[in-house]
């Protein structure tokens, strides 16, 4: 896909996920004009953007949100309207797309531009490094607080990013963190005073990762995460009922 092209739904629907390649870095921009709510079509768009990054031979990937929102997670208004088959499709798309990002054979960086709630937090955790804009924002996995047991695939991704000393608070107690608190807990790699500063920090990290040997990185990441990914997928089938 040439630089500046976008992965969007057909039929004139609003674009939600943008893609461009610049200086060897694939940049995915999440912007639905609202909270970047996730749905089955949204996961398909993200998957298409990942396809483009790999097809373009990108040396690194940067995922960024819109002002004030990285992502609020799943579209909660949509969930009650889904049939059992639709809910299963959504759950599988959610898990498989994020596990793919987590195992992507390209260095990945998240620029958390605002709130990162539930699936939004997991999206950040699926990246290798995380930078955030300072402000009145929350980074939170609130599933337990709203009555949703955390699936094993989500725990697998989260545990790769959250230090052991913070996992109970973050995962079991559903505690929300401001960006500065998340940085102090080791959940983030850096915080910028402004969104522009956060993006600068994230871009600098992505540029530094271009120097890695691509084949060695890809194989090392495969060895690090393949067993956990396969176990998470097996658990997904079990949790969804076979």
Provide CB contacts within 8 A for 175, sequence distance 6+: 140, 169
Backbone angles phi, psi at 18, to 5 degrees: -100, 155
Q: Is 15 exposed, middle or buried (0-12, 13-18, 19+ CB in 10 A)?
A: middle
- At 213 the three-state DSSP class reads coil
Identify whether the C-beta of residue 109 lies closer than 8 Å to the C-beta of residue 131. yes
Spatial separation of the C-alpha atoms in residues 211 and 71, rounded to whole Å: 30
Spatial separation of the C-alpha atoms in residues 152 and 24, rounded to whole Å: 34
Spatial separation of the C-alpha atoms in residues 155 and 2, rounded to whole Å: 35
Spatial separation of the C-alpha atoms in residues 1 and 125, rounded to whole Å: 26
Element (H, E) at 92: helix 84-102
Please give the positions annotated as active site.
143
Identify whether the C-beta of residue 71 lies closer than 8 Å to the C-beta of residue 36. yes
């Amino acid at each position: 896909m040439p630089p500046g092209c976008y992965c969007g739904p057909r039929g004139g629907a609003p674009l939600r996920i943008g893609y461009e390649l610049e200086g060897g870095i694939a940049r995915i921009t999440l912007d639905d004009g609202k909270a970047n709510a996730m749905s089955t079509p949204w996961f398909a768009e993200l998957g298409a953007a990942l396809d483009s990054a790999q097809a373009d031979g990108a040396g690194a990937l940067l995922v960024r949100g819109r002002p004030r929102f990285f992502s609020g997670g799943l579209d909660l208004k949509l969930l009650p309207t889904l049939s059992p088959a639709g809910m299963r499709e959504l759950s599988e798309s959610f898990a498989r797309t994020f596990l793919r990002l987590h195992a992507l054979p390209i260095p990945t960086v998240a620029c958390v531009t605002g709130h990162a709630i539930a699936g939004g937090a997991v999206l950040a955790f699926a990246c290798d490094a995380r930078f955030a804009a300072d402000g009145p924002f929350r980074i939170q996995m609130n599933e337990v607080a709203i009555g949703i047991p955390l699936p094993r695939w989500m725990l697998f991704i989260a545990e790769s990013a959250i230090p052991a000393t913070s996992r109970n608070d973050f995962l079991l107690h559903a505690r929300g963190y401001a960006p500065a608190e998340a940085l102090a807990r080791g959940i983030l790699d850096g915080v910028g005073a402004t969104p522009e500063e956060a993006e600068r920090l994230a871009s600098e990290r992505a540029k530094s990762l271009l120097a890695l040997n691509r084949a060695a990185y890809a194989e090392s990441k495969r060895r690090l995460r393949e067993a956990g990914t396969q176990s998470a997928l097996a658990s997904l089938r079990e949790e969804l009922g076979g």
